[in-house]
Structure 1
Amino acid sequence: MMVEMSNATGDLNWLLDDLVDRVVGADHAIVLSADGLLIGRSRDLLAEDGEHLSAVASAFQSLARGTGRHFGGGAVRQTVVEMEHAYLFVTAAGEGACLAVLASEDADVGLVAYEMNMRIKRVGQFLSTAPRFPESAGVVGGSRS
């Protein structure tokens, strides 16, 4: 089981490296679970920074989902945060996972979003994560039994 997980993580990290290498201005890429756990990261992102970015991306995606539900906006397709010197893109990637890219201020935002969506379409099932507490494992009504 550990070998399979290690291979899957290596493949995922390779996909993230490829995204950063191919898209001008894309500095870092991560895959995270819906609850903010870091699943994979591009090579130039330190583990600690990846975990921080994962928590931030999860929070933004959660806020966007809540806003969509409350105001009838529907499902969140993508969350984009524009900063003075960077962009943060967060997109749902399979069931229970997100792809996040941190890009520089001179990145082509349309190209970054397009490339993220193309990667997700090609490998969406690979990016899916299982729920951390499936109902069959004793979770009833949102609490562990």
Structure 2
Amino acid sequence: MADDLNWLLRRLVEAVPDTHSALLLSVDGIPKYWYGLDIDNADRLAALASSMCSLANQVGKKFSADGSDGVRQVITELNEIILFVTAASAGSVLAVLAAREVDAGILSYEMQRLCTQVPAVLVTPTRYAHQGNGTR
């Protein structure tokens, strides 16, 4: 299955001009599948994207009218690149790096399309179930 998901990430990167790399990670920052990154940069980007989602969730809890903490997308524009981070599925996040020249609307659409095409595959199961007595 890993080859299938890497292929999907490659297809996303290649389909949208000025897109550099894509990474599927668990919400706790563990890289699962990636394209256009080496393992060290996949680890770094996973940690950063996970932190961005966590921060955005806290903003939602504190400042949204309904106290919602569901992140749909976080976009960070830097001098030369844009980082798109979106909730992919339960427990999973999709992060994409692109040049500033990227068409943000098309990339966002393609990211959402990827997430809706294969949601069951993108789900990251809970690492351990919590029980009432405090044991795992």
Query: What TM-score, normalized to structure 1?
Result: 0.86
1:33 maps onto 2:32 in alignment: no
Q: RMSD between aligned alpha carbons? A: 1.5
CA displacement at 1:144 relative to structure 2: 4.4
1:62 maps onto 2:35 in alignment: no
How many residues were matched structurally? 133
Deviations 1:62-95 (A, max 9, x none): 1000100011253221000010111101111111
Bigger share in helix: 1
Q: Which runs of 5+ in 1 are unaligned?
A: 1-7
CA displacement at 1:134 relative to structure 2: 2.2
Counterpart of 2:98 in structure 1 is 103
Structure 2 residue matching 1:132: 3-state secondary structure: coil
CA displacement at 1:10 relative to structure 2: 1.3
Which of 11, 16, 24 is the aligned partner of 1:23?
Answer: 16
CA displacement at 1:9 relative to structure 2: 1.4
Summarize the alignment of residues 1-145 of structure 1 with structure 2, pairs less than 5 Å apart: 8-42=1-35, 44-72=36-64, 74=68, 75-135=70-130, 140=132, 144-145=135-136
Change (3 A) 1:26 1:140: farther
**Quick one: distance in 2 between partners of 1:97 and 1:115?**
17
Runs of 4+ in 1 over 4 A off after TM superposition: none
Structure 1 residue matching 2:58: 3-state secondary structure: helix
Structure 1 residue matching 2:102: 3-state secondary structure: coil
**Quick one: distance in 2 between partners of 1:25 and 1:140?**
49
Q: Percent identity?
A: 37
Query: What TM-score, normalized to structure 2?
Result: 0.92
Structure 2 residue matching 1:79: 3-state secondary structure: strand
